[in-house]
Amino acid sequence: MIKVMCAKAELIPAQVPADGRVFSYFKGAKRAGVGTIANRWHGALKRGGFRPSTEIWDFVQFCLAVCSADLSSPRRTSADGWTRNIQLTVGLCDPDKWLPLKSDLEDMLKVLTGDYWLLNFNNAGMEPPQGDGAFLSNDCVSLLSGGLDSLIGGIDLVAKGQKPLFVSQLAHKDSERQRAYAAMLMGNGSHYQWSHGISFKGSREPSTRGRSLAFYAFALLASTKINLPKPTIFIPENGVISINPPLVPGRVSSLSTRTTHPMFIDMLQRVLDTLGIHVQLQLPYRFKTKGEMMRECLDQDLLQKWAADSTSCGRFRTYNRQHCGRCVPCLIRRAAFLAWKPDGDTTSYRFGSVVGSDKSSAPDDPMAVALAILDVRKRGLDRFLGGSLAFAPINERPMYRRVLQEGIKELETVLTQDKLL
């Protein structure tokens, strides 16, 4: 069992447990063996006018605590090299409100990360920042990663006459791209870029499933700047990536992320509703493929100008900030461009074709996609999907089935073009 504790620096026990990790919220504890979460961020939020409710602030602290546990718990040390058992003690301002949600939260985190979680809550949280609470003129929040889907999401919202407040996680060179997109769409003053700022000594877990929670924490915090009773938070992600059915059986746990899976979003929405946090999470493109998103984008001129500049690659850093062209996100991107404008993709790919490309010890994504396509051809889509759509209400299953069917067709076009099929 991996043990992690997150608390306000002044409330960390004098004797730090030797068999666990400890993190202090928003400032360094100046003690050996204690990591830090988002150092000095609390003061910056106050200066920025943030005055979140206790409920929203505790949600932010909870998410950052989960990120800390995820980042500081290497999967390679677990029995199967993936599944971890994590006991996380979260310091909050109002822990009693969270106790009835303990089981639901543990289940939600299991869906998100594929691990077993044991949560404890105590009153060791940092108090919310007390800024002036001034509102902005924006009317919704939209996640902006620097990727193609979030770019289209922003373009469509602005084209519809909405005034989105963009939220981004700082991501090295993508941060410049995020700023450029936000400024292009909404000018200055409608964009927040934040980082979880987790620092500690020791091994870091490279997979990032749990850290997506920071994105949602930042979005909720930004929503406090919207002067509406129940602001909408848009999560622009195509349906194929959202559902992300395992291409082959071995990918069920390690390679099928659930960050924007509709089941996870529904679980998160129920948690927020129970806590009395009034926001509406929305997956506007859950029934669209990436290619359909591109074809139906409401400002084609703007998309034409910026689409190839966006990032999609799951191994962007591996190839020195260049798209590899062979990971699943790159294959879906290439397929989308082919479905949109066959000659419109000016992205620089490390491998122009999947045939003969060096997988550099990474999973063989083109082969997994090819096997999935052949499986669909042989056994049919429903046998291939198995229970992948069991989460969906009966009336929505045909729409999810359609988007996966069309998504597989788009991918088949890429592999046929590259002569892998």
pLDDT digits (tens, 9 = 90+) for 205-250: 988 788 889 999 999 999 999 999 999 999 999 999 999 998 887 6
List phi, psi (to 5°) of 168: -135, 150
Q: Give the model's confidence band at 254: pLDDT under 50 very low, under 70 low, under 90 confident, else very high.
A: very low
Question: Who has greater pLDDT, 372 or 172?
Answer: 372
Query: Which of 298, 310, 302, 364 has the alpha carbon at shortest distance from 334?
Result: 310
pLDDT value, residue 174: 83
Q: Concatenated DSSP letters for 227-284?
A: -SSS-EEE----HHHHH---SSGGGTTTS---TT-HHHHHHHHHHHHHHT---EEE-T
pTM: 0.95
Q: Give the model's confidence band at 318: pLDDT under 50 very low, under 70 low, under 90 confident, else very high.
A: confident
pLDDT value, residue 358: 63
Question: Who has greater pLDDT, 277 or 357?
Answer: 277
Cβ pair 325, 362 in contact under 8 A:
no
Residue 27 has pLDDT above 80, yes or no: yes
Query: How does DSSP classify residue 51?
Result: -
Q: Which of 38-52, 249-263, 361-375 has the highest mean pLDDT?
A: 38-52
pLDDT value, residue 173: 72
Write the CA distances from 113 to 75, 82, 328, integer angstroms.
Answer: 11, 10, 19
pLDDT value, residue 209: 82
pLDDT value, residue 359: 59
Cβ pair 209, 114 in contact under 8 A:
yes
Residue 252 has pLDDT above 70, yes or no: no
What is d(CA 100, CA 36) in angstroms, rounded to the nearest whole number?
A: 28
Q: Looking at the chain, how many residues does it have?
A: 421
What is d(CA 410, CA 421) in angstroms, rounded to the nearest whole number?
A: 13
pLDDT value, residue 171: 79
Residue 256 has pLDDT above 80, yes or no: no
pLDDT value, residue 362: 60
Q: What tokens appear for 144 in the block? A: 């902006």
Residue 312 has pLDDT above 50, yes or no: yes
Q: Give the model's confidence band at 251: pLDDT under 50 very low, under 70 low, under 90 confident, else very high.
A: low
Does 140-282 carry CATH code 3.60.10? no
CB atoms within 10 A of CB 189: 11
H helix runs in 72-211, sequence order:
102-113, 148-159, 174-186
Domain ranges of the chain: 2-122, 140-282, 312-417
pLDDT in tens, 144-186: 999 999 999 999 999 999 999 999 999 777 899 999 999 999 9
Q: Give the model's confidence band at 253: pLDDT under 50 very low, under 70 low, under 90 confident, else very high.
A: very low
Report the greatest alpha carbon distance in the chain: 63
Q: What percent of the chain has pLDDT over 90?
A: 82
* Share of the chain residues as helix, strand and coil, in percent rounded to the nearest 5: 45, 15, 45
